[in-house]
């Protein structure tokens, strides 16, 4: 094998490695970006659920046990 062929093969393998690494980084960024949106949505839903529980507890007081007031 010639030196040029070996250098070409090393460069080709390095390029493949770099392309794979870039693909992984793009995938990670897309997942990370969606994750923050998902966490924000979960937070909004929790706040909404807590607000609904407060409204329900204020509008419908619990029935006293054994008829006590």
pLDDT at 23: 92
pLDDT at 51: 85
Cα–Cα distance for residue pair 24/21, rounded to 1 Å: 5
Residue 9 in any domain: the answer is yes
Does the reported pTM lie above 0.75? no
1: helix, coil or strand? coil
Residue 68 in any domain: the answer is no
Residue 66 in any domain: the answer is no
* Residue 43 half-sphere exposure toward CB, CA atoms < 13 A: 6
pLDDT at 40: 79
Residue 39 in any domain: the answer is yes
Which residues, given as ranges, of the chain have pLDDT below 50?
Answer: none
Residue 26 in any domain: the answer is yes
Q: How many domains does the chain have?
A: 1
Domain that holds residue 34: 3-57
Residue 63 in any domain: the answer is no
């Amino acid at each position: 094998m010639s030196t040029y062929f070996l250098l070409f093969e090393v460069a080709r393998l390095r390029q493949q490695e770099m392309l794979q690494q870039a693909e992984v980084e793009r995938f990670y960024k897309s997942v990370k970006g969606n994750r923050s949106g998902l966490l924000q949505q979960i937070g909004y839903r929790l706040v909404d659920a807590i607000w609904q529980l407060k409204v329900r507890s204020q509008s419908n007081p619990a029935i006293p046990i054994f008829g006590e007031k």
